[in-house]
Each structure stands twice: as structure tokens, then as C-alpha cells.
Chains A and B, each alone.
Chain A
Amino acid sequence: MQAERSIFRQIAAVFIKDMRREARSKEVTTTTVAFAIMLMVIFAFAFYQRDETVGIVFPGILWVSIIFAGTLAITRTFDQERSGGCLRALALIPGTDVSLYAGKLMTNLIFMAVFEAVLIPLIALSFDVDLMSHLTEHIAIIVGVTLGFSALGTLVSAVLVHSHLRDVMLPIFLYPMAVPLIIAGVKVTRALVEQNETDEVWMWIQLVAGVDVLFVFASFLMFRWVLSAIE
């Protein structure tokens, strides 16, 4: 019980520290939101044609924007720890193999939630897509994909923390593994925009939930080894 309390305190400490830092620098939120809006504007001008093509174009634009902007946020996950050498200090503290990963995952989820809250309504407005008619399904798939992508991204970011090419390498490692999530996201969004059967939609959402469980569980297990290798 004591140990569990301690782990939760550690997770909170990592999360609060990252939020405090971001509140001061605003580095991640400003860059990801600006990047996401820029992508949205380019795509909107490039692909918007007629109402009947919206079902094809909108899901792609939405998920490409989320994934690209999310990558920008995730790449920075361990920047503070790397520059100050803090990973070695943290490695000497019992329990950090769990709490550091969990705290960083929470931070990435918040960063992604912030730019998604700006980006998604803007894209929907640009393409005149009504998200409210299937709001529950939209939220379920966005939360599911965001969780899985962040879980995997946080782990990959830790693996690449000392690589000089981490900005280039992260998408190369991350995207192939995140393909099931991205495909599911596109399929569900398209089905919802085209007002298709929701049975298929929930099948994809369940698949994403299953992938999330796998990614989160495996990442927690693997982070211990990653931390011992990078310390």
C-alpha cells in the first residue's frame, strides 16, 4: 500500500513538473497547435471540392494532422531529462521505471488533448462536417487512438533519447507500429461522416481498445528495460 502510494506520488510529481515547465515555456503547445492549424489550412485548400468527397478527404486530413502534430509533441518527451542528465538521477530512485513512464504518458496525453481540442473543431468547420450527430463514437475513437499512439510514442521517445537523429527516427519507428490505430481512426471517422452502420464503427473502436491495452501494457513492461539501457 505504502509502495503504491509512493508510485502515485511519483507519477504526480513527474506530471506536475512537466506541466509547470510547459506553462512557463509553452514550447510544445504553441508549436503543435500552430503546426496542426497550418496543416489543416493547407489540406483544406488543397483537397476541398464537393460535399460528396468530404467522406473520403476529411478522415485522412483529420488523422494525418493529429498524427503529425502528435509526433511533434512526443518527440520532446524526454528533452528536459536529456539536457540536464536527469535520467541518471531518476534511475537511482526506486519505482521510477513505472512512474516516469506513467507521468510522461499523462503529459503527452494532455499535450495531444490540447491541440486536438483546437484542431478537430476547426477541421470539422472547414469541411462542414457535423461531429455532434455521433459525438460519443467520435470521442471514443479519438481518445482510443490518442491513448495508443501516446503510449507507443512515449516508449519510442525513451528508446531514442540519446540518438542525434531522434527527430527523424521517431516517426520511422513509431508510424509502422501505429498503423492499426491510424487505419481504425480513418475507417471509423469515414463511416461516421458517411452515416454508415454503427456496428462496424464499434467493431473498430473495440479493436482500438484492444490495441491500446496491448500497447500500454507492453510499454510499461518494456520501459523498465529501456530505462536501464539508457541510464
Chain B
Amino acid sequence: MKSIQLNEVSRAFGRDFALHRVSLTFEPGTITVLLGANGAGKSTLMNILATLDQPTSGSIAFDQFDWAEFAKKGRHNIGWVAHKSLVYDELSGRENLEFYASMYGLSDTRKIADTWLERVGISDAAEKRVGEYSRGMRQRLSIARAMIHNPILLLLDEPLTGLDQQGRADMLKLFGQLRDQGRFIVMITHDLDLPRGFVDRVVILRSGSLSFNGEIDDPKQIAERFQEHA
């Protein structure tokens, strides 16, 4: 996929616009951070990119596919870390990943699950039930679940929530590696203390409209732009 282009995308709920005429382009091999106050439209935009919510007007081009075609044919390209962990408490970490790997039709699910458990640093808790996981471990598992099928488009909604300093550093490193592999990464975060060079583009939404869209990699500048535009 060469690009994802949003053209005048709006999403209305009744008379209220959660997203209003937003035009954006996402490119491969970049991390785009989506900022905005509560209710600014970040989650709505993420849901639309995840093809779980349809724009009321405007168009989106996922390469040659429009939104509806991508929702039908391209969903396996999406990896999504949501507010909820989207994993089963009664199963172990490994069982969860094996389950999702099977659902994606992957073979050698055990090996894939173990690889991802190691990549997110919870191999030691592979057999433990997720219900007994700490918040940070659950978040790491959620990230592994979203990545298990090697998606091209990664949608990360507050992926650093609940992580300790080490976990945070590990996950940022992982996202950086995935970016370098040419994936599209769109991340919502309220944590602006990101390492220099981690972010490629910052998009700020205010009351559903695009308030700022630019290339910044300096965390200080990101914080300043956020103060100005959010």
C-alpha cells in the first residue's frame, strides 16, 4: 500500500459532527501521532481508518480501494490496539495469541505466539491466565495481538497506557522497528514525552476539524503545537 488519503472526510451523529471535512495523507514507513482534547474526534478517525465506522461524507483511498472495498477486502491489513485489550481473560497469553493466529489462518500458531510473546517481553507469563496479568502485561499482550498477522496499517489507541518505563521504552522501540519495515503507524497518545525522531508527523484535531498537520520530530515542538492547536 503506497498511501492512505482522506479527502474531506466527515462523520456526523445526528446534527453533530464528530469529524468535519478532514483531509489527510498517511504514508508508509511513518509514525503519525494523532493529538487532541477529549471529544476532538481522534477515536472517530481511528474507527474510520479501522473500517469499523463509515464516513458520512468525503472519501478515503486505501491505495486503489475506497473505504467500502477496503472494509470488505483489506481488513486483514489492519492491526488495532484499542482502549480495551480485546483479549480473553480466561485464556493464557499464549492461548490468546494462538487463538488469534488461528483466526487469521496462520500456520504454526504456537511458534508465532511464542515469537510475539518474546518481542513484547512477556514470555515468562505465557502460561498465566490474562485475568491475572498486570495492566502493563495486558497492554503488551494487546500489542502482540494486534501485530500477530503482520498488518500493514497499525492503529494504536493509547498504546503506552499502563506501561512502566521499561515497557514504554520497549514498545516505542518495537513501533520504531515496525515503522522502519514500511508500515503505516497511526497513534493516539496523551503522552507527549516521546523520544526525538520517533514521530514523523503530528496531526491535531479540535472539535472534529483538522487544526494542525505537519512534520515534527522534536517532542518540545510537539508539546508547543499541542498547546497552540488543541
Contacts and interface: CB of A to CB of B under 8 A. Distances in A.
A10 interface: yes
Interface string A186-222: 0000000000000000000000000000000000000
A20 interface: yes
Interface of A: 6, 9-10, 12-14, 17, 20-21, 24-25, 80, 83-86, 88-96, 99, 231
A92 B80 contact: yes
A85 B102 contact: no
Contacts, number: 72
A93 B76 contact: yes
A72 to B, nearest CB: 19
Interface stretch (B28-36, B85-93, B197-205): B85-93
B17 interface: no
B158 to A, nearest CB: 14
Contacts of B95: 17, 20
Contact of A13 (B75, B86, B87, B103): B103
Contacts of B75: 91-94
Interface residues of B, number: 25
24 contacts: A9-B102, A10-B105, A12-B102, A17-B91, A20-B95, A80-B88, A80-B90, A84-B84, A84-B87, A84-B88, A85-B82, A85-B86, A86-B86, A88-B80, A89-B100, A89-B145, A91-B52, A91-B75, A92-B78, A93-B104, A94-B75, A94-B76, A96-B103, A99-B103
Contacts of B83: 85
A94 B70 CA distance: 11
Contacts of A6: 105
A21 B91 CA distance: 7
Given A9-B105, A84-B84, A21 B90 contact: yes
Contacts of B103: 10, 13-14, 90, 93, 96, 99
Contacts of B105: 6, 9-10, 95
Contacts of A83: 89
A10 B80 contact: no
